[in-house]
Amino acid sequence: MMAGYCWEWPKSNRLDVDHFDITLPEHDFAISWNIENTWAIENSSVREAGCIHTAQGLEFDYVGVIIGDDLRMENGQLVTDFTKRAKTDQSLKGIKKLAKEDPEKAHALADPIIRNTYRTLMTRGQKGCFVYCTNPELQGYLKERLEMVTMYQRKREQDLYLVDEKKEY
């Protein structure tokens, strides 16, 4: 399990696997951030969630990814929101100060970092990826896009099969 960096990782609880950093109360779900940087190969990793910093460069058969409030659909557009990131996220250190001085520059800096976070997390699974979005509109958008891709693939396979049946090439 992995998640975007939208939940705090307080120093006081970093070694306590029973402290739940990531909570989704509407689904009675709670999990702690990874205790060790080697969480992916530890037996206890099923009780912990990894983040972008501990998942880069790793590959798994399957992954579960929680997309937090920093990425959402709004009026049909994919929107990133750095204000929804955890304060403990070092990849956006200083972004709030920059946003006060130059909001456009802050957004231009944060947008690709947020998008890359989820691209990286979702591509760690070689056989599959399960995704949960805190934003229902984004969940619906992703489901719709996946259905379109699946429909296109089935149509393409069907067309290729029909070409093979003709055997007149």
Which of 42, 110, 53 shows the shortest CA–CA distance to 82?
A: 110
For the segment 106-127, the average pLDDT, to the nearest whole number, is: 95
The residue type at 40: A
CA distance 85 to 7: 7
Which of 88, 92, 91 shows the shortest CA–CA distance to 12?
A: 88
Question: Hey, what's the torsion of the CAs at 72, 76, 78, 82, to 10 degrees?
Answer: -50
CA distance 108 to 70: 14
What the block records as the tokens of 104 is: 């456009």
Going by pLDDT thresholds of 50, 70 and 90, the confidence category of residue 9 is confident
Q: Could you tell me the pTM of the whole model?
A: 0.85
Place of tokens 């983040």: 51
DSSP state letter for 102: -
Q: What pLDDT is attached to residue 90?
A: 84
CB-based burial, 84-116: b 16+ in 10 Å, e otherwise: bbbebbebbeebeebbeeeeeebeebbbebbee
Please check the confidence at residue 169 and state whether its pLDDT lies above 80. Answer: no
Q: In this predicted model, what pLDDT tens digit does every residue of 72-92 receive, in sequence order?
A: 999 999 999 999 999 888 888
Does 17 or 68 have the greater pLDDT score? 68
